[in-house]
Amino acid sequence: MRLRTFTMLVGAILILTSAATAGSSSEDEFVADYLKRLEKKHTTRLTWLSAHFTFNRINRDNDYNKFANYESLYMTDGAFPWLGDGKSFGLDFGIVFAKRFAWMLGGEYWLKMGTTLDGTYYYTPSGTYVENPSSEVRLMGASTGIQYYLFNAPKKEGRSNKLSVRVGAGVGFYQVKWDLWEEYQDLNLSTDVSDAGTATFMDTSPGFTVNLGIDYPTKIWDIVLGIDMSVMYLNFDNVAWYNTQEQEIVATWTGDADGRVDLEFTGIRGKVELKHFFVW
């Protein structure tokens, strides 16, 4: 009788032990499976922030330069210089979304272009003396684009000791503002009459770029030095302001509508930027 009771107790203990072990094993497997799925769900992203300076060599054969030549003829002892080069600063955000592809979004502000002639000048069209006549152009915009790395695309670790080579293309949306001296004789396209009392000429336009660039990792704070050469197409062909009658007022380099001034910034660009990569 005692032997039988002892045998039953031993069997019960073995069954309970086996059940506990099986339960513990199942729980460990469940936790391991959950962590594995969580790891798969979290995808590592490689991004960057950058600040850049761009030198823009604008095509010299443009309407603004013709306008400068034309108006200089009527400004006694005064001459407006050409619009030849533009300088801009900007910030970019980028993300590597495939093995060799990256997407970027950014904005830029161009330093004021044009000039102010110091002094007093006789302006023939108005028959008056003009003090400190000025012609100043301001430009800003936002852009987005795709970069394709030909060699040594950035890794998810965020650091690289090798030179990267890339090509890319982008599109942007830009706004230009052009201020002229108050006595300038602009042209009303509705009445075909010239008059003084000009306001700010404005326009918006898309811009397009293609580029070739390199990224070189420096030893300073994990900063990457980027250098780009690109060609930009950016022309504003509806530069005007509108009076209270919604009549279109334009600037002209011939005195009539045929010489309407378009502001053209198409040209070659050189960009230097400092990048910092982030992994998250």
Contacts of 189 (CB under 8 A, 6+ apart): 247, 248, 249, 250, 257
**Band of the pLDDT at 45, cuts 50, 70, 90?**
confident
Q: What is the CATH number of domain 43-279?
A: 2.40.160.20
pLDDT band with cut points at 50, 70 and 90 for residue 99: confident
In angstroms, the Cα distances linking 96 to 25, 119, 146, 255, 261 are: 41, 54, 10, 52, 41
* pLDDT for res 10: 46
Strand ranges across the sheet with 248-250: 193-195, 186-188, 248-250, 241-242
What is the model's pLDDT at position 220? Answer: 87
The mean pLDDT of 23-45, rounded to a whole number, is 59
pLDDT band of 70, cuts 50, 70, 90: very high
Query: Percent of the chain having pLDDT more than 90?
Result: 65
170-187 pLDDT tens trace: 999 999 999 999 999 899
Determine the average pLDDT of the residues in 207-223. Answer: 93
Task: Give 191's pLDDT tier (boundaries 50, 70, 90).
Answer: confident
The pLDDT confidence band at residue 158, using thresholds 50, 70 and 90, is: low
Best CA proximity match to 91, nearest among 276, 217, 280, 223: 276
Q: How confident is the prediction for the chain on average, in pLDDT?
A: 87
pLDDT at 122: 95
Band of residue 74 on the pLDDT scale cut at 50, 70, 90: very high
Q: Stretch 217-235: mean pLDDT, rounded?
A: 93
Tokens standing for residue 95? 């993300």
Rounded mean pLDDT, 30-52:
70
Domain positions in the chain: 43-279
Report the DSSP pairing between strands 267-279 and 46-58: antiparallel
Tell me the per-residue pLDDT of 116-151, one tens digit each, with 9 for 90 and over. Answer: 999 999 999 888 899 999 999 999 999 999 999 999
